[in-house]
Amino acid sequence: MTLDKVKMLEYCNEFSKNTLMETLNIEYIDAGEGFLVAKMPVNPSVHQPMGLLHGGASVALAESVGSAASHFFINDKEHEVRGIEISANHLKSIREGVVYGTARIIHKGRTLHLWEIKVTDEAGNLISLCKLTNMVLTKEKK
């Protein structure tokens, strides 16, 4: 399957408007065969009370990029994607800067997609390692 990187990124950034992704300033910045990358600024709006990146914000980034990536393997006129399980190991803290979520496909089945999402800082240090399972559902006819 050949994918148009520019169209993929435009699509992801467009459907993020008026959503949590926009609230968290998540921006999709790179894409290719079997992967998608998004970035999120780290500032007080995504901190926990100790002034560190909130684990929930890292998970929101991971689920956003992994779910968006599944859209490139489906016909979105007939199917839709739902995240059904996510796990995260938070390995390093960060107070400011930018984090990047890179989703890479592990398993692409007909009804289930399994993604590994690495959340890294600007130096490439691993902040969180996440695993996301998405279910592909047939859209209900209206």
| Number of neighbouring beta carbons within 10 Å of residue 19 | 11
Query: How distant is the alpha carbon of residue 17 from its chain centre?
Result: 15
Active site residue 96: no
Cβ proximity of 101 and 65 under 8 Å: yes
- Give the Cα separation of 136 and 112 in Å (integer): 6
**CA geometry: angle 35, 92, 97, nearest 5 deg:** 70
Catalytic residue among 63, 85, 96, 116: 63
Which residues are designated catalytic? Answer: 63
